Amino acid sequence: MSQDDWPTGKQPKVTDALDADTVAQTSSDDRPRARRGAVDVAGSGDTAGAGASLVEASTPKASRRAEPRVVKSSHPRQGARDWLFRAGEAALALVVLAATVILVGRGAITAPAPPPRLNVTANLFCQNITGMAGQVSATADADLKWQPQGGAAIPGSAYFEHAVTSLSTLQGTGSVAGLVQFGSGGQIAASGCATPAASGYLQAGYANATLIMQNVDTQDAILNVSMLGAAGEVDPSDLVDLKIPAGTVKQINIGDYANGISPVAVRWQSTVGRVLAWVVASSSSGLDIVTPTSAASEVVVPGIPGGATVQVLISNPATVRVQAHVEAMTAQGRVALADADQLMVEAGSTTSVDLTSALSTDPTALVVTSDQPVAVSALVSHASDTATSPGVLVNQLGGVDAFGVAPAHSQLLISNPSNADTQVTVTMGNPSTTQTLPLAAGVTTAVAVPQPGAVRVSGAGVVAALVIRGGADDSSGMSVVPLAPDTARAGLTPAWIEAQPH
Looking at per-residue confidence, does 388 or 432 come out higher?
388
pLDDT attached to residue 83: 55
Q: Identify which has the larger pLDDT, 253 or 32.
A: 253
Q: What is the pLDDT of residue 84?
A: 52
Q: What pLDDT, in 10s, does the model give residues 152-179?
A: 999 998 899 999 999 999 999 999 999 9
pLDDT digits (tens, 9 = 90+) for 270-307: 999 999 999 999 988 899 999 999 999 999 999 999 99
- Give me the pLDDT at residue 63, please: 39
Express each pLDDT in 40-71 by its tens digit. 333 444 443 333 333 333 334 433 443 444 44
Query: Whole-number mean pLDDT of the chain?
Result: 81
Longest Cα separation, the chain: 109
Query: Which residue would you say has higher pLDDT here, 93 or 128?
Result: 128
Is the model's pLDDT at 493 over the cut of 70? no
| pLDDT reported for residue 28 | 41
- pLDDT at residue number 85: 53
Structural domain spans, the chain: 19-64+73-107, 121-485
494, pLDDT greater than 50: no
Q: Percentage of the chain with pLDDT > 70? A: 73
Residues 6+ positions from 96 with CB-CB distance below 8 Å:
none
* Residues 79-104, mean pLDDT to the nearest whole number: 50
pLDDT: is 37 or 408 the higher one? 408
Instruction: Tell how strand 478-482 and strand 322-330 pair up.
Output: unpaired
pLDDT at 394: 83
Cβ neighbors of 460 (< 8 A, separation 6 or more) are 398, 399, 418, 422
Contacts of 185 (CB under 8 A, 6+ apart): 384, 477
pLDDT band with cut points at 50, 70 and 90 for residue 12: very low
Q: How confident is the model at residue 492 (pLDDT cuts 50, 70, 90)?
A: very low
Q: Is the peptide bond before 431 cis (omega within 30 degrees of 0)?
A: yes
Interval 432-457: pLDDT, tens: 899 999 999 999 999 999 999 999 99
Residue type at 375 in one-letter notation = A
| Model confidence at 402: pLDDT above 50 | yes
Q: Report which of residues 451 and 73 the model is more confident about.
A: 451
Which of 208, 243, 207, 209 is closest to 225 using CA atoms? Answer: 243
Q: How far apart are CA 221 and CA 277, in angstroms?
A: 12
Write the single-letter amino acid at 115.
Answer: P
Residue 502 has pLDDT above 60, yes or no: no
